[in-house]
Amino acid sequence: MSTIYILWLRQLKRYIRSRSRIIGSLGQPILFLVALGFGFGPIYQRAGQGSYIEFLAPGIIAMSILFTAIFSGINMIWDRQFGFLKETLVAPVSRINIMFGRILGGATEALFQGILVLIISIIIGFHIHSYTLLAMSLLFMALISLFFTALGTAIASMLQDFQGFQLIMNFIVMPVFFLSGALFPLNGLPKALTVVADLDPLSYGVDGLHFALTGASHFGAGIDIMVLSVLTFILLVIGSYLFSKIEV
């Protein structure tokens, strides 16, 4: 447990010290909220769907968590390039503890990023449906953070260069985000898109945040929690195996 705590604390300190990284990572969510939220707002309202900001904010919160979580795998490649990972792996501690420490650190960064975007959304004009469900929104943020941090760590365990990681991540991140229902409702989609959205893990995170923050849900909060929990557990197992196979 001490190993997990030390690695978690190390990554958290690294994140807090990089103020430019925190500020820079907020630029895209704010752009989406302002440009899309107010730009498409009148069209969305004329279609009888209400305020687009109310619909968009949960999806943008999930987006900020997704990007921060999955790209945390870059830290592992960075540590491998400069020898820190080798020093960690040869230490007399379990590799599973090392991996969990790194995942918890990355997930905490992503969760903090999501909370910041939620606060910004409220400042811009987003209204939380029920403050009694706010704790549930944090649960969904944590599950999204853990899942995609574990995914980023698992992929980084198989790669040794930044370029390959970024190419794979861009290939995964954009389809996962755009097909999750973050920007448009999942109701009434063509069957092919409906199938893809149902297979997209982020769809359940976005839907869960919609339920917790706006009271609306496509799949149901229970299904969202179950699917995310099961997928996160499976990915943690896969990530543990891949991380255990890293050669020092």
Which of 157, 156, 174 minimizes the C-alpha distance to 165? 156
pLDDT tens digits in sequence order for the chain, 248 residues long: 555 555 556 655 665 555 555 666 777 888 888 888 787 777 777 766 677 888 889 999 999 999 888 877 777 777 676 666 666 666 666 777 777 778 888 888 889 889 999 999 999 888 888 888 888 999 999 999 999 988 888 888 777 776 777 777 778 888 899 889 888 888 888 888 899 999 999 999 999 999 999 888 888 999 999 999 999 999 888 887 887 776 65
Which of 123, 158, 132, 155 minimizes the C-alpha distance to 213? 132
CA dist 23 → 18, 19, 28 (Å): 9, 6, 10
Q: Which stretch of DSSP H or E encloses residue 3?
A: helix 2-17
Burial class for 90, CB neighbours closer than 10 Å (0-12, 13-18, 19+): exposed
Give strand ranges (E) for the chain: none
Count other C-beta atoms under 10 Å from residue 241's C-beta. Answer: 13
Burial class for 225, CB neighbours closer than 10 Å (0-12, 13-18, 19+): middle
Q: What is the pLDDT of residue 210?
A: 93
The pTM (predicted TM-score) of the whole model is 0.86
User: What single DSSP character describes residue 181?
Assistant: T
- How many independent structural domains does the chain possess? 1
Rounded-to-integer distance, Cα 159 and Cα 168, Å: 10
Which residue range is the domain that position 190 belongs to?
2-244
Is residue 104 within 8 A of residue 10, CB to CB? The reply is no
Exposure b/e, 117-148, CB count within 10 A at least 16 = b: bbebbeeeebebeeeebeebbebbbbbbbbbb
Count other C-beta atoms under 10 Å from residue 51's C-beta. Answer: 16
Count other C-beta atoms under 10 Å from residue 99's C-beta. Answer: 25
